[in-house]
Structure 1
């Protein structure tokens, strides 16, 4: 009887332990969600030429590590430097023309101002000759009246008549001169306005030449193709002496300093995942080395929506498939960062509690 009790107690103990273990593992399983549909990602930038030129030197080989600012390709600068010199000469010429236009406009303004003063002086002359003409007319009228009563001589009458004729001639001369001066003044004023407008046109040309020089200098600076960041340069498709056109691919550079994991989780698990949750990461390349990170952000749509031919569920042949939703996981700092590369397969385990 005692042996049966002990045996029953052992069986009960085993059952309790098994139930407790099952509950523990069930609780632990509910605290995490995982997926092996994940990979390491990073920036891969295609390096292209900004100008058309011959290649003088290539300073890298495939799969070579480079630092930010390292010169990768040196293009021939002869034609590019000539463009800069030509742009500088055109800018200098435009600047000289602007200075000449300023002086010419100033001279035209001064001539127009002097002509206006001449018009004012001619008006004063007209006023004086008008007064002289009126006086001469009065003198002739008085002399004529005196001559009729024989109070003056014929000679004085002729003199008064001559004076009137001279006064009329002076008046007409002054009027004609004022009209001529006024016409000249108007022409000079119009010319001065045109010269000032020419200044604006020349200023616009100077700005155009400045832009052309800046563009030529920018093209010259692109003769030295440099690495935009630290990483590995690969996919070399050029060689020395080759002629390349603007926009042509030279190589690609991979940023291995800033990596992240893209995990495609099931849509049914999406409601459990929040930004900031810790993540355990295992890479197939380093199964013995654990990595850690945290959920950084969610993609705006499921992966199917980014495919070349997104599925259309309105065609009539609808089969419901659990969709995958990409999330971005940021890696915590790691000593093995230099050995990580984009594209490595990963297994992620997200703590959802």
Structure 2
């Protein structure tokens, strides 16, 4: 009789413990949302040729770790260096032409200025010739009056007439010379303006040659293909001596230092998830390793919208399917340094939504 109450007590305690454990795990499960539709992601960059040339050397092997700036491929640079030298020679020629144009424009401006000064001098000559002509005309008029009253000789009258004719010739010569000088001045001014405009054209040509030299130097720099970041280089599709065209694929490099997890949650769970919530991550490749992270951001659309053939629901046979929404989860780097991680590994994520 004494054993029956004891058994009943033990059974009750076990029942209470089981109920308590059930309630605890039920409450605990409500604090998390999880999915196994997740994987590691990282940057995978296709390295392409920036020039058209022969390959002189390949300095990597498939799946080799590399550091940022390591030389991967060396192209033949003979033709590329020749282009740089040609562009440099054209630039030097354009700069010499610019210097010559400057000097020529300066000379034309000085000639135009000197011609204008000559024109100003001609005005003074005309003024003197005008004064001489006026004096000669008065002397001739006076000589005619005196000749009429027989107060002067015919010889003196002829001399006054000759002086008048010479004064008129000097005046006309001065006026003609001034006109010629002014015409020359205008021509020199026009030439000077044209020379100055030629300077602008030559300056533009110099800038063009500078740009061509920069492009040639930039093309030469692409003959040395380097790693854009730390990672693994793989997918080599080239051989030494091969002729490569601009834009042709050389290899691929994987950044395994900056990884994240892309988790595809059901759209019915999105209202529980917020940026910054902590995440527990388990990888199929490392079942014993527990990683941590936090929700970083939400993709702007469901995964179906990024597919090659997005579904079109405007059809008569529409069937509603729960959509998956990609969420980006950033890894806590101190927890990931002890193991090797690679893009594409399957993951299980559990987000603390409390």
* Stretch of structure 1 that moved more, 271-280 or 27-36: 271-280
3-state SS, counterpart of residue 45 of structure 2: strand
Range with greater deviation from structure 2 (326-335 or 34-43): 326-335
Q: Give 1:140's aligned residue.
A: 140
1:269 corresponds to which residue?
Answer: 269
What residue number does 1:192 align with? 192
**What value does the CA root-mean-square deviation take over the aligned residues?**
1.3
Are the aligned partners of 1:70 and 1:227 in contact in 2 as well (CA < 8 Å)? yes
DSSP-derived class of the 1:320 partner:
coil
SS, match of residue 82 in structure 1: helix
Quick one: structure 1 residues 337 and 209, their matched pair in 2 at CA, closer, same or farther if it must change by over 3 Å? farther
CA spacing shift, 1:337–1:177, aligned 2, 3 Å: farther
SS at match of 1:215: helix
Higher mean alpha-carbon deviation, 15-24 vs 133-142, is at: 15-24
Q: Give the TM-score taking structure 2 as reference length.
A: 0.97
* Structure 1: gaps of 5 or more residues: none
User: Per-residue deviation at 1:25?
Assistant: 0.7
Q: Deviations over 1:177-208 (max 9, x none)?
A: 11111111111000000000010011111111
Q: Please list every run of 5 or more consecutive structure 2 residues that lacks an aligned counterpart in the other structure.
A: none
- Structure 2 distance, partners of 1:250, 1:7, is 77
Distance 2:180 2:268 in 1: 97
What's 1:94 paired with?
94
Q: Equivalences for 1:319-338 in 2 at 5 Å?
A: 319-333=319-333, 334-336=335-337
The answer to whether the aligner puts 1:296 opposite 2:313 as a matched pair is no
Structure-2 separation of matches of 1:257 and 1:14: 50
Partner residue of 2:218?
Answer: 218
| CA offset digits 1:201-253 (Å, max 9, x no partner) | 11111111111111111111111100011111000000000000000000000
Displacement after TM superposition at 1:149 (Å): 1.2
Q: In structure 2, the residue corresponding to 1:74 is in which secondary structure?
A: strand
Tell me by how many angstroms 1:7 deviates: 4.2
**Aligned-pair distance for 1:11?**
3.7
3-state SS of paired residue (1:180): helix
Task: Answer whether contact 1:257 1:338 (CA < 8 A) is retained.
Answer: no
Give TM-score scaled by structure 1 length: 0.97
Q: 1:311-350 counterparts in 2 under 5 A?
A: 311-333=311-333, 334-336=335-337, 339-350=340-351
Partner secondary structure for residue 239 of structure 2: coil
Going from structure 1 to structure 2, the CA distance change for 1:153 and 1:275 (only over 3 Å counts) comes to same
1:244–1:40 Cα change, 3 Å:
same
The residue that corresponds to 1:40 in the other structure is 40
Aligned residue for 1:339, secondary structure, equals coil
- Once residues 275 and 22 of structure 2 are traced to their aligned partners in structure 1, the CA distance between those partners, rounded to angstroms, is 30
Give 2:54's aligned residue.
54
Deviations 1:148-196 (A, max 9, x none): 1111111111111111100110011111111111111111000000000
Structure 1 residue 135, shift from structure 2 partner: 1.1
1:310, distance to aligned residue in structure 2 (A):
1.1
Q: CA deviation at 1:308?
A: 1.0
Checking the alignment, whether the CA contact within 8 Å between 1:257 and 1:337 is kept in structure 2 is no
Pairwise mapping of residues 1-353 of structure 1 onto structure 2 (< 5 A)?
4-333=4-333, 334-336=335-337, 339-353=340-354
CA positional deviation for 1:4? 4.9
Q: Kindly indicate whether the alpha-carbon contact (under 8 Å) linking 2:136 and 2:160 is maintained by their aligned counterparts in 1.
A: yes
